């Protein structure tokens, strides 16, 4: 967007802060959003910048190299959008019943329906256009967590919630069951922040730390992404470490364990209608995920967050879940023999080892050309029951 200073009212005609906030809240309501805060765009606090750098330096981001590449932008949004003066922060609740594929294979609740990037992003775009039409802003940029913006830190800094011991933002009304969005604008909007509630604390509660199956939450307010089930099933592009595969249970996309036990989410309500449900979850079993080609994968998961790990990544996760559930031998055997991705074949071998399917493993070993897959087969044969 090109800047147009003539678009805004002359200084003597500028509305008051209360009028601006009223216009903003009304415009947000019209597009299906609630303004949680407005804040000046500036550098994050020094303590926050230091903590982020240290977390990355320790390697806790795993393979998420894009975070390190975007570090200067994360620390100060003006390094990304030098025209940005204010930020509008919004949040949408998404609490709903747990969900899975047909017959098992759990999916994080935020991914059961519409992609929040699209839903929140489009609403923020409409909000920006309304603010521009009202003469309050000229340039704007809608953001979700796909943008180089440390949105959780901004939400905490703007008092929209507080940091839980699971490292997530805890909303006063919805606990951890909220998705965040931001609108950067080129105008100095009034600074609007809710007062911090004195009771906004996890206190002595450690439920989230206690339930984490891999120890990814190794201390209060501390997360090692390399051990987190969400990272392993979504962001990791290679093989899931052998020692962590049993801990995945039947999770095939993300993990809600540390959210489900959080007492602040007990009264978050039900928001299933707004987000909808992906038909593929009711149509497909875990076994069916192993038979999808790229075209059918794209068709089933169009407009869904489940596209993030790609066909091979989701099939990899399905192999692990089937191995943990003790089923799917026929489909796993076919995947080991025919899947074009070595990543899938290797994890199918691991699952078949859990099922003690020695015949399928031995038959595949004789034909397999990929060294890493052959290693997986060797290991599965050695660990198979009765081996």
Which residues are annotated as catalytic? Answer: 145
Structure-block tokens of residue 15: 């509305």
Q: Are 387 and 359 in contact (CB under 8 A)?
A: no
Residue spans of alpha helices (H) in 239-278: 257-260, 272-275
No. of H helices and E strands in the chain?
Answer: 18, 9
d(CA 12, CA 15): 9
Start-to-end Cα distance in the chain? 65
Neighbours of 82 (CB within 10 A): 10
Give the residue carrying structure tokens 């935020």. 110
What pairing do the DSSP bridges indicate for beta strands 99-100 and 251-253?
A: unpaired
d(CA 173, CA 183): 22
3-state helix, strand, coil split of the chain in percent (to 5) is 50, 10, 40
């Amino acid at each position: 967007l090109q800047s147009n200073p003539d678009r805004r009212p002359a200084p003597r005609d500028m509305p008051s802060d209360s009028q601006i906030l009223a216009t903003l809240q009304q415009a947000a309501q019209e597009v299906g959003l609630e303004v949680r805060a407005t804040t000046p765009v500036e550098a994050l606090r020094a303590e926050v910048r230091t903590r982020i750098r240290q977390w990355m330096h320790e390697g806790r981001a795993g393979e998420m190299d894009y975070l390190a590449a975007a570090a200067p932008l994360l620390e100060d949004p003006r390094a990304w959008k030098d025209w940005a003066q204010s930020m509008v922060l919004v949040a949408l609740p998404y609490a709903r019943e747990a969900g899975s594929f047909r017959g098992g294979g759990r999916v994080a609740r935020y991914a059961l329906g519409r992609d929040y990037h699209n839903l929140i992003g489009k609403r923020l775009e409409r909000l920006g256009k309304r603010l521009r039409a009202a003469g309050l802003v000229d340039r704007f940029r809608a953001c979700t967590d796909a943008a180089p913006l440390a949105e959780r830190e901004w939400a905490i800094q703007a008092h929209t919630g507080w940091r839980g011991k699971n490292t997530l933002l805890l909303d006063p009304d919805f606990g951890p069951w909220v998705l965040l969005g931001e609108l950067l604008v080129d105008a100095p909007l009034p600074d609007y922040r809710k007062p911090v509630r004195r009771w906004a604390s996890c206190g002595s509660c450690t439920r989230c730390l206690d339930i984490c199956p891999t120890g990814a939450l190794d201390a209060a307010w501390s997360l090692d992404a390399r051990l987190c089930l969400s990272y392993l099933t979504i962001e990791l592009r290679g093989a899931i470490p052998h020692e962590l595969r049993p801990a995945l249970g039947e999770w095939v996309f993300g993990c809600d364990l540390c959210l489900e036990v959080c007492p602040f989410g007990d009264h978050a309500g039900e928001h299933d209608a707004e987000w909808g449900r992906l038909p593929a979850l009711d149509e497909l079993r875990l076994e069916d995920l192993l038979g999808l080609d790229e075209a059918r994968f794209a068709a089933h998961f169009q407009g869904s967050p489940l596209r993030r790990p790609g066909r091979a990544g989701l099939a990899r996760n399905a192999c692990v879940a089937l191995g943990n559930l003790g089923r799917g031998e026929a489909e796993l055997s076919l995947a080991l023999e025919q899947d074009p991705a070595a990543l899938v074949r290797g994890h199918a071998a691991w699952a078949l080892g859990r099922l003690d399917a020695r015949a399928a493993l031995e038959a595949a070993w004789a034909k397999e050309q990929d060294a890493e897959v052959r290693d997986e087969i060797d290991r599965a044969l050695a660990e198979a029951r009765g081996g």
